[in-house]
Structure formats: structure tokens, C-alpha cells
Amino acid sequence: MSRVVVAGSFNVDHVWHCAALPRPGETLAGEYSTGPGGKGFNQAVASALAGADTTFVCALGDDDGGRLARRLAAAHGIDLRAQDSEAATGTAGIYVDDDGANSIVIGPGANAALSPDFVAAQGEAIAAADVVLAQLESPLDAIVEALRRARAHGAHTVLNPAPANAPCSRELLAVAEVLTPNETEFAGLLARHCGGDIEPGTLARMDEEHLHRLCRTLLPRGTVVLTLGAAGCFVSHREDSLHGDESPHYRCPAAKADVVDTTGAGDAFNGALAASLARGAALPFATHVRYATRYAALSTERAGAAASMPRADEVASRFPDA
């Protein structure tokens, strides 16, 4: 059985669909909806629906949002390990335009309470995991604890360094076997840790050898999967650790999709990548990346974050060779 542990955030999303994203000082009319989100929960749902036995470690308030998280985790077969917090369950305000682009503001709430001690108390689940996946919407020391314990027990560790403005220490990068930044996150990490000054919009067009060198500078001992939106993604391995691939670096094209809403697409990618790695560690890494790319593409054809995640059979139907 493939096992994934996701350590991260749960938010109640408040979403407004409008013709264009609001500019400073502008008031727009839009259609409102609400539902579950948070990078951690989105990725846990994607992992579970992609076929992995999934545990989600988080912090929740004693409120309607926390009760929603518990109901939905049970409905998806997710083993929820929630630290109780006096703060309200996390929230997010999301604006989505007619092209599917989005802007997001997060209120951390209970997510900020997740502690290293609570993560350590989930040691049995982490020790049994094939993959441990984390993001940066939770306290840094709790995420370090989750990935450090995972590495100690031989699990694959995947760090999605999102959102871009969140702190990400060298200590955390050191326990990440696979790093999955988008363009903005990658440029920010280079600036903070390597003194680089890269314009995010140039990365998709950059020469592969140059991009590979940047990845090796940022994460010398691990694999970087740089997601590039419509341009797909770029994979960079350490030269002596190719994870079954034939080349230390390559591009993987994006799958075609009729985009409705890109909210949660990165989370779909990460959850599906973790699930695929957990169930087929002996397969070439490129196989897992291709599956995650297709899973994420299918998620953009539906509105919402966690609610947009497809089931494994839907991916197989849409992409028969996935």
C-alpha cells in the first residue's frame, strides 16, 4: 500500500469570480462561493484521490471551519491528525478572473499554531510513510520536524516552497529530497539563499543548461521540479542521483486543458506527484512528473481548490497512458 503524509494548512476559502482581478481602490461585482482549501489540505485531497493512503497533519480551531475539515477528511478517507487551537480555523480570500487567474490573501489562524511537538507525536505515521509532503503555510519549525523525521526513516521528502513570501531556511532545504517551486518561488529562493537576481518570467525561456546550474546552486543534493505554468515544468537532478531518469535535466510539457480556474493547480500537482512516487518508487521520475502534470491540468477545468481535485480514474480516462 502506498502511504503519504501531508503536513500543512487547512483554510476555509471565500472565493469571488469576477471579470478581472480588482485593482487598488477598485470595487467590482462578482459571484461568491465558499469551500475547503489551504495548501496542505488541497494536497492531501489530491494525494488521496490519486490513490494513496493519506494522513494529514494540521491545526484546527474549535469552530465551523474545523468541523468542516474533519467531515471532509473523513469523506475522502484521509487520516486527520489535527492539533487543537484556540485560534479560528484558517481562512483565505480568493479572487478569480475570467481567464482563470487568481489573487489570494490568507488569514493563518490556527495554522500558525502547528507545533514541532505535535508533529513529533505523529512519528509512527511518518515512519510508515513512503512520501512526506509539506508546504510553507505552517510554522517553519513544524515543517522541518516533519521532513527531518521522514528522512530519518527513509521516506521521500517533497517540499513545495509556497507561498513565495513565506520563510524557507537552509535547514529546511537540507531535508528536502524534492523541491517543487513555481517561477516566483524559485526566483525568490535564489535571491534569498544564493544572491541571484532572476526575473521569474524569464525562466520558461531560459537555456536548459543555465536553468540546471541555477537548480544545482539552490539545491545541490536534491531534485528540483520547477513548475512553469503553461510551459509545463523543468526537472533538475543531481548528476549521480537521477531517480531512474536518463538525463540529469529535462522539460516536461504541460497537458492541454480548458482552463476554468487555476486555484489549487499547484497543489494538485504536488499531491499527485507524492501519490505517484509513493506507489511506484521504482519507476523513472519522469513518469511521476508526467502524471502530476496531467492531474494538475485536469484540476484547472473545475472551479475551486480542494473541490477541483480529480479522481485517479478520471485522470486515467482523460489520459489513457497516464
Residue positions annotated with a catalytic role: 267
Find out whether 53 is annotated in a ligand binding site: no
Find out whether 266 is annotated in a ligand binding site: yes
Strand order in the sheet with 90-96: 31-37, 11-17, 90-96, 102-107
Find out whether 315 is annotated in a ligand binding site: no
Find out whether 304 is annotated in a ligand binding site: yes
Residue 139 CA to residue 145 CA, distance in Å, equals: 10
Q: How far is CA 258 from CA 99, 233, 286, 316, in A?
A: 10, 19, 24, 17
Find out whether 111 is annotated in a ligand binding site: no
Find out whether 289 is annotated in a ligand binding site: no
Specify the DSSP element, H or E, that contains 207: none
Residue 303 dihedral angles phi and psi, to the nearest 5°: -80, 150
Find out whether 205 is annotated in a ligand binding site: no
The answer to whether 40 and 6 have CB atoms below 8 angstroms apart is yes
Find out whether 267 is annotated in a ligand binding site: yes
Strands 131-134 and 3-7: parallel
Angle of helix 183-194 relative to helix 208-218, nearest 10 degrees? 60
Within 10 Å of residue 318's Cβ, how many Cβ atoms? 16
Find out whether 231 is annotated in a ligand binding site: yes
b/e per residue, 248-274, with b = 16+ CB within 10 A?
bbbebebbebeebbbbbbbbbbbbbbb
Find out whether 141 is annotated in a ligand binding site: no
Find out whether 27 is annotated in a ligand binding site: no
Residue 301 CA to residue 225 CA, distance in Å, equals: 23
Find out whether 9 is annotated in a ligand binding site: no
Find out whether 186 is annotated in a ligand binding site: no
Task: Rounding to the nearest 10 degrees, give the CA dihedral for residues 270, 218, 173, 59.
Answer: -40
Find out whether 162 is annotated in a ligand binding site: no
Binding residues for ATP: 182, 227-232, 266-267
Binding residues: 11-13, 38-42, 137, 182, 227-232, 261, 263, 266-267, 299, 302, 304, 308
Binding residues for substrate: 11-13, 38-42, 137, 267
Binding residues for K(+): 261, 263, 299, 302, 304, 308
